[in-house]
Amino acid sequence: GDSVTQMEGPVTLSEEAFLTINCTYTATGYPSLFWYVQYPGEGLQLLLKATKADDKGSNKGFEATYRKETTSFHLEKGSVQVSDSAVYFCALIKGSQGNLIFGKGTKLSVKP
């Protein structure tokens, strides 16, 4: 069945370091891909999305590019801040409005 695999956490970085969180997926057809973020004590929030191959989603300095050839959607940020400390979830949707299939999440801690 369809699935999402994320790199294991936790990831600990110093402020202003470069961030990459790997995400690969298995799905038939052409899913839409998402990154959600969960800050401590808050609900899941959509960070960015891409709906077709080679699309780049971006928001708050984060970017991810939909790579169909490698079935990947890696999350990157050039310079992380302490406020980026959160759990990040990669997810996919089959079709235009199906249910989300999530990875296990990657916890990011950014130290000052």
Interaction between residue 64 and other proteins (CB under 8 A): no
Count of residues of this chain found to bind other proteins when the rule CB under 8 A is applied: 21
For residue 89, the minimal CB distance to other proteins (Å) is 5
Residues recorded for the chain: 112
Least Å distance between CB 79 and other proteins? 26
CA-to-CA distance for 95 and 106, rounded, in angstroms?
A: 25
Give, in order, the Cα–Cα distances in Å from 84 to each of 9, 22, 37, 110: 15, 17, 9, 7
Give the residues lining the site for other proteins (CB under 8 A).
Answer: 4, 34, 36, 41-46, 49, 89, 91, 96-97, 99-105
